[in-house]
Structure 1
Amino acid sequence: MSQIISSLTEVSDRYDALFVDLWGCVHNGVHALPEAVAALQTYRKTGGKVVLVTNSPRPRAGVTKQLVQFGVPDDAWDTIATSGDSARSAMFRGVVGQKVHLIGYPGDERFFEPIGVVKDPIDVQIVPLEQAEGIVCTGPRDPMANPATMRPEFLMAKQLGLKLLCANPDIVVDRGEVREWCAGALAQLYTEMGGESLYFGKPHPPIYDLARRRLFELGVDVPDSNILAIGDGVLTDIAGAMGEDIDSLFISGGLAAAETKTVTQPEPDALSAYLEKEMSAPTFTIGHLR
């Protein structure tokens, strides 16, 4: 059974660094969550390092701007690792070819801006599906539309033998009180239809490798045993931490608030039933980051 705690300070002195999810933990897609911000500020004052590890398809600079818009102060974190940056690095190394078809929100063309960490990047071009060598999916074109609407396009893509690079493995997020589909839902559908999807965000190893590199860039070498991963997704944040053998703190009041009967804190029996159903074993659980 995951240990239910009431505040981060109960366990934070065991860890030198935090890998912290953003959406549902530090902000709700509309504004910052004050208690979470305060908890991270307090942790950093003790000398701990905070790496924001997000499945956002945006580059690090784009997430930094978004944090300002949401009201997350820069003294609550040290550095950022995004699924977008991890996926962009792979794209510019040619994992889905040079000519790619984009599935994403309006404005996601910024995903194709040059990146400095790849030696001799290929010249990626956005083309119609019938001309593509691969697909880049940053998210659904309409986050409210059922992913099944993509079936005809995905059938053609599968017949062409195209790989799909998924820039955000999240299935859903809650923007305030509204639940939206993410790129992971489309990649999941494509895989179920027999296509091949490539993932670079949580729970997959590439983003954790990037997070460790970001941590090392801060001038600290922290062993995995001294890192705590924090997030509200058992299939992403907690599964990723378990796969990396990193301790984890599950935020039950995010995506699983209803299942865990979380208002302030989770109802223990509901939490136990939910974690058993999802075959998940976070080290600790808290209703909301505070």
Structure 2
Amino acid sequence: MVDEVKTGLVAPRRVSGFSELALEYDLILCDIWGVVHNGLKAFPAACEALRLARVNGASVVLVSNAPRPNGFIATMLDRLAVPAGTYDAIVTSGDVTRTLLAERPGARLHHIGPARDIGTFDGLDLTITGAEEADLVCCTGLFDDEVETPADYVEQLTRLRDRGLTFICANPDIVVERGSKLVYCAGAIAQEYEKLGGTAIYCGKPHKPVYDMALSTARALRPEGIRDGRVLCIGDALRTDIIGATAAGFDSLFIASGIHAEELNALEGAEPDHAALANLFSGHAHPRGVMPRLAW
């Protein structure tokens, strides 16, 4: 796990609009779920803010802990009516997962997660098997995240641990916002596996490989290059987005109305409570600023 970067910051400063910061950066690495949409609908102001950043010279790469490859996410964004001009490219933890699995040709893989994620493995030299025949496990999520919790997986995880199987986590998020509620993600199952003594490999934020892939993608888009100190990460999660950005050496902008909305009293884009915000960031990695929702 990435170590949290300790600071003496009491609370991040309020940013009135993304226009205050955007012109200072060549590259914007923006989270998707909780910033651009909430799983049910797009946030038009956030999409417009990213479009205007591009108009003003920045490249925008959407970086998501979604367990599926970027093509699936582009299709989902189209379905949610996110304008194509919002971003230049997408990089997902699913892309990193595929890169990792491609290094293990011929592996017998046990998949934990919903059937809709099976496309993550398309075209790879793998055999999908039951748990007893597998020599590797990949978790993309819960089978039914509407009703299940990590506790429902303890018995299965214990058997996998007893066999010494490496557990690849294709989505390090613990929870994600879906409309007005939070649902568990693969990261919660991976944490449970580690608690049982198993070994987990995390493929997305806050870990380095996904940032390396995002930078490589961005450099291919920008022949003029990316100047030092001119990368900004935007996200709604302290554990993944903000701590990950700081560990990677990037600035960050925190969106308060995502997964921390309830504890910050920032539901539906309300102004976050200052004391709650100070408490969230006290002693932790901190962003350059905070907004209730992303807007220009």
1:261-284 C-alpha deviation (Å, 9 max, x unpaired): 22432222221111116x231111
Q: 2:216 aligned with 1:213, yes or no?
A: yes
The one of 16, 21, 31 aligned to 1:6: 16
| Equivalence map 1:150-189=2 (5 Å) | 150-189=153-192
Match of 2:55 among 39, 45, 53: 45
Summarize the alignment of residues 1-290 of structure 1 with structure 2, pairs less than 5 Å apart: 1-94=11-104, 98-114=107-123, 123-144=125-146, 145-220=148-223, 221-262=225-266, 263-276=269-282, 279-290=284-295
d(CA) in 2 for partners of 1:101, 1:17: 37
**Structure 2 CA distance, aligned partners of 1:233 and 1:202?**
10
- In structure 1, distance between residues paired with 2:128 and 2:228: 39
SS in 2 for 1:131: coil
Q: CA deviation at 1:224?
A: 4.7
What TM-score do you get using the length of structure 1 for normalisation?
A: 0.94
Q: Which amino acid aligns with 2:90?
A: I
Instruction: State how far apart, in whole Å, the 2-side matches of 1:154 and 1:70 are.
Output: 35
Distance in 1 (CA, whole Å) between partners of 2:290 and 2:23 is: 16
Deviating 4+ runs (over 3 angstroms) = none
Structure 2 spans left out of the alignment, 5+ residues:
1-10
Native 8 Å contact 1:265 1:288 kept in 2? no
Q: Which amino acid aligns with 2:178?
A: R
In the TM superposition, residue 126 of structure 1 has moved relative to its aligned partner by 0.5
Identity of aligned pairs, percent?
A: 38
Gaps of 5+ in 1: 116-122
CA contact (8 A) 1:252 1:288 kept: yes
Residue 5 (structure 2) aligns with: none
CA contact (8 A) 1:101 1:129 kept: yes
Please, what is the CA RMSD of the aligned residues? 1.4
Q: CA deviation at 1:84?
A: 0.2
Shift of 1:114: 2.0
Cα distance in 1 for partners of 2:217, 2:38 equals: 24
Distance 1:146 1:124, change over 3 A: same
Bigger RCO (CA 8 Å, 6+ sep): 2
